[in-house]
Structure 1
């Protein structure tokens, strides 16, 4: 009795350990597989489809491995013993043909989904049953990743918020993203996949939220000491509630000037929600072009000068520079020319460059 019950007890013990190991998974948030935005839903469907296609190969291989190990064990004397067997055309067709078909199917699905779910591609549907109405304009949200908080600008509404994002349900959202210093990744799992935000660049994300609720958002790319607290709440609202939220932000908020932004972008963690009733004109473009303080030449101006042929080697000495950094040992270009030599420089390049580019 003892010898027969030992294997049974061993099996029960292993099953108990397996269940104990799976128990912590019961507390996992399954928002990635059960999201509330159509783009995230399509991404979840892609994960499920790809997994099932791969299981078509994985499950039979595991099952046959167990079957062969049991059937051809040393103790089974009735199993066929063919030491000279080395080839089977039918078996080779199954072994190579089935995985090849799976790879072709996965490749086709990946190719189609890569273009269909391109974050830069404007939405063509609200959900699986509703296309985007022709008269609906997307909500534009300009996102700035700061150290270590999120700034959201609403150019259509003229407001801004810190660590709070809101949008009406069933309305397309066009995110424009950049960063003040290092690279971050904007991620609302219930809404869509993550997209990087990088300094001096603008990335885009098109998405839509289909259910009213409050969802978690955060940075999914490590960016320093305060990274773990770089979180915000995303509010999916009805159109009327969103309009009320905008009006409340205008009533309760202050003005976001360029000076306020320069103070805000300094590193800080665990920032509370802030609301701004108005935003300085052109602030987001200045953030992207790295010239908020007004003492630097904007990147767009630099690129326009380069596109027009550049200042020329002879003009390098005429560049006005200013110290940059705490040490003051490095410099950056503050203007294309100094006030003293502006008259000498302008005749050579005025035909190619506008006055705004020369400032």
Structure 2
């Protein structure tokens, strides 16, 4: 009994720690209709399954007590083989619950389809999202600005996110506003979100929920839901080169074009990988190549604002991986493609030296 009590207390302590010691359970504390609907679906499914789980636990404990060896008053039926009532209960109730869950799944997958535009009185704000190596880049094609590791949008305005990746697969996730969706090179995924509550001063948490390498833990950003006036002021400040007046911790730059975009890839290998390559180098050239490599970041890239952005940058990232298809002209991405090829050559040249 003592061991059982200790085990229960240990599990309770671990549960409290994993939920932030009773803090904000973000998936159950939604700030928008999409996240709220998904949370309601999840809790409804849990409640339905508990209709089987709780009675099963109670009956298991009760049967063990009722038919214990010391209870001489319990019925003893060694020839018992069948009960129609029990069969109806143990099969009928789960079948009904599974049927309800199946209907909820079908309904919810259509209602909260990430590609489905949200109904609202305001026109949606389009934001193009690029998963770069261990950072998130946000392009506002209508406002003609761009940011790194920060996204801002007005309250009660649908946000139409168009998402891709410029390296390995990642997963874009703002838990307070909706579910995650993958960012994949050469592809475009859609996610529609809406915030009904203003974000705290530090913004809602956003991150990549798909492991993508040594710098994966640094792929964090903040999502700020603000008023229409605050959003307009922020856009004006960024376009005027004065975005730090809104966020003093940000870095203000001029234009995000192909040349600037090519410089945003952080590092070549993990620190320990580079050290291993240097130790295993067989020639001075190999050692010099390894020493020239930059390690992956250990801190998130600082929030950066760009007062303008090259037109078609988002499309060029997708086309860079689709250059062999559709006969499209990808000359606009030639500079970035050359940089990517040079990076790939370095990776290929050092890969044979071992990780």
TM-score category, normalised to shorter length: 0.7 to 0.9
| Local SS of the residue matching 2:101 | helix
Q: How big is the alpha-carbon RMSD for the aligned residues of Structure 1 and Structure 2?
A: 2.4
Match of 1:116 in 2: 111
Q: With structure 2 as the length reference, what TM-score do the two structures score?
A: 0.76
Match of 1:290 in 2: 320
Q: Does 1:303 align with 2:325?
A: yes
Q: Does 1:228 align with 2:228?
A: no
Structure 2 vs 1, CA of residues 219 and 80 (structure 1 numbering), >3 Å: closer, same or farther?
A: same
4+ residue stretches of structure 1 with deviation over 2 A? Answer: 9-29, 265-270, 302-306, 323-330
Q: Does 1:215 align with 2:237?
A: no
Matches within 5 A, 1:165-204: 165-204=151-190
Q: With structure 1 as the length reference, what TM-score do the two structures score?
A: 0.76
* Distance in 2 separating the partners of 1:286 and 1:23: 46
Q: Which runs of 5+ in 1 are unaligned?
A: 1-6, 125-131, 292-297, 307-322, 331-359
Q: Which runs of 5+ in 2 are unaligned?
A: 242-252, 268-295, 329-340, 350-355
Contact 1:187 1:220 in 2 (8 A): yes
Structure 2 vs 1, CA of residues 168 and 12 (structure 1 numbering), >3 Å: closer, same or farther?
A: same
Contact 1:180 1:265 in 2 (8 A): no
Match of 1:151 in 2: 137
* Distance in 2 separating the partners of 1:328 and 1:222: 20
CA shift at 1:191, angstroms?
A: 1.0
* Distance in 2 separating the partners of 1:221 and 1:184: 5
| Local SS of the residue matching 1:304 | coil
CA shift at 1:304, angstroms?
A: 2.4
Structure with more contact order per residue of length (Cα contacts < 8 Å, sep ≥ 6): 2
**CA distances 1:248-272 after superposition (whole Å, capped 9, x unpaired):** 1112241111111111134453211
Structure 2 vs 1, CA of residues 209 and 59 (structure 1 numbering), >3 Å: closer, same or farther?
A: same
Q: Which has the larger radius of gyration?
A: 1
Match of 2:226 in 1: 237
Match of 1:334 in 2: none
Between Structure 1 and Structure 2, how many residues are aligned? 290
